[in-house]
Structure 1
């Protein structure tokens, strides 16, 4: 299956933070993630989730959509995304799983 440039991309990541559950640091990370990533113009339908399934031990999820593959690629190299990853994600996230869907 190949990725077609004109089809919507749903980018999702489930993750756990190094911070204690319910801590100010945890809340700040989720709020900052929403603020920073939604400031990128190509990001659509951004959502933050608390993971509740007993089938895995991740704690949260971010989900967003991109109109097409070009927008998704633009997001990946956008300076706001790159700085969030290097300054916050790499420092504060304990583990994660990234999933990208096309519809």
Structure 2
């Protein structure tokens, strides 16, 4: 997942185009699963937008990062249009269910 702001006006045509282009380009990479492009709704977070995706393995994640479509998107769009971001990567390998009673 990555949450981010664009150096574009909120709700602008350019913002919408960035989200659509991101989805089109990044989902063209064969290892990308369950892609989503989102607009933030929570008052607990001041980032406006987000992309999420899943990968079947760490190798697929690394292949995505090195894929020419991803590299090109980052160089030609992301670095020019994103004003700030926070990347959040989760690895579910070896994750365990919460212990009974945890968090109660």
RCO greater where, 1 or 2, for CA within 8 Å and sep 6 or more? 1
Q: Which residue of 2 aligns with 1:70?
A: 59
What residue number does 1:95 align with?
A: 84
> What's the counterpart of residue 38 of structure 2?
49
Give the unaligned 5+ runs of structure 1.
1-11
Count the aligned residue pairs: 92
Cα offsets for 1:62-87 (capped at 9, x unmatched): 00000000000000000000000000
Residue of structure 2 in register with 1:39 after alignment = 28
1:30 to 19, 25, 34: 19
Larger radius of gyration: 2
Aligned-pair Cα RMSD in Å: 0.6
Counterpart Cα distance in 2 of 1:66 and 1:92:
25
Greater fraction of residues in strand: 1
* Ranges in structure 2 where 5+ consecutive residues have no aligned partner: 93-104
